[in-house]
Amino acid sequence: MELGLDFDDTDFVEKIKEKQTLSSYNAKICYQKWFLDDRADNGKNDPATLYKYRGDYYHHHEDYNTAIKCYIRSLESLGSHNRTMRRELTDSLARCYIRVKDYCTAKQYVDKVLSDCLTIDHWCQALLLKQQFLCCSGNYTEEVKVLQQLITNFYGNVHFWVKLGVAYRNILELKQCDKTSADSTSAEHSPKVHDSIKSKGTVVSDNDSIVHQNSSTQCQTVIQDVNDECCKRIENHNVRVPANNCTMRTSHLNTCCVSDVEHMELTSGYPLKLMLLTCLIRTRMILFSVQFTVDSFVKHRNTKQVEKLSEQIKELCSDNAVIDKATQFLKVDMHEEESSDIDDKQGSQDAKALMENKITSEEFNQKWFSWIRREHIC
């Protein structure tokens, strides 16, 4: 039977492999700030990428108006298929409009970023962008709601608790300012005050009293300081934003006011001071819990932060019994959360499911601040 196993003569000839000649790699050499040079507009470079580089450069150097123009040119040159870069440009435009205090336009771009969330990371970054927008525009009640949503899904993130504590502190200062203004207004209409003013020969108008002017100016000064401090805390691309670039305009001061209805909805009747205390204690506990798993320089930084938190806690509440009760409750609460394997649950959810699963302020407060009523502190 023929098996077809015959060999050709070429099978016994030694084959010499030819070595492939390799040519040297000619790397592209880019001189410093090449993307700003007019020679970069020679058609060899992608215009969308080129203008994005320019926008990033001007954004880093705080020339936000020029950065906006570059980002818009980049968007106009960008193809519809490049969804990732379009999202980055939209995010950058929102941040630039926040810096120049054009909050109406900034909100439009923030909403675009929120509507284009495909993953949990996208959703988280979009909510952080919205939180920064609300903080700079002075809408602290909505900022708290965004942070509540973030903490519900990422309860172990220390930065979210820090931001929530700052938001509560801002609202607390505004409420104290409103109270001071109301007391001054009441004193203005007091007969004794009118008699005292008349005795000094000062003319008081119904529409524009001296007492009301002083209290109003003082209240706006406090609001101004609160917003400037908020804007200084914004961390984006390692750029530290100076306070004078984030000063609130007078037309936006009314967004800082917190009505009694909003306050009740936000706190569910819990004392705001104790809610702030809870945020500080939980932040300190989270930093403590990671001390054995971080490098030495991070451990040193966390130790300093813990010391500052301890000082703030003491300033906020001098009663050690209250602090101990909160700490004991939060210890048990954190242990229960860790044992429920929430991280595994998060991994199985998509961004759309997380966005649709919104928590109310009442539910959030019941979950994290129930120790206040349980210990009959309020």
Domain boundaries, the chain: 36-150
How many angstroms separate the CA atoms of 248 and 250, rounded? Answer: 7
DSSP string for 56-94: HHHHHTT-HHHHHHHHHHHHHHS-TT-HHHHHHHHHHHH
Per-residue pLDDT of the chain (378 residues; tens, 9 = 90+): 566 666 676 666 666 777 777 777 777 777 888 888 877 777 778 899 999 999 999 999 999 999 999 999 999 999 888 999 999 999 999 999 999 999 999 999 999 999 988 888 999 999 999 999 999 999 999 999 999 999 998 888 999 999 999 999 999 888 888 777 666 666 555 555 445 434 444 333 343 433 334 434 444 444 444 454 445 444 433 333 333 333 333 334 345 667 778 888 888 889 999 999 999 999 999 998 888 787 888 888 888 999 999 999 999 888 889 999 888 888 876 656 555 544 444 444 566 677 667 889 999 999 999 888 887 776
DSSP string for 348-377: T--HHHHHHSPPPHHHHHHHHSHHHHHTT-
Residue 184's pLDDT is: 65
CATH topology classification for 36-150:
1.25.40
What is the pTM (predicted TM-score) of this model?
A: 0.73
Contact residues for 317 (Cβ-Cβ < 8 A; gap 6+): 273, 274, 277, 323
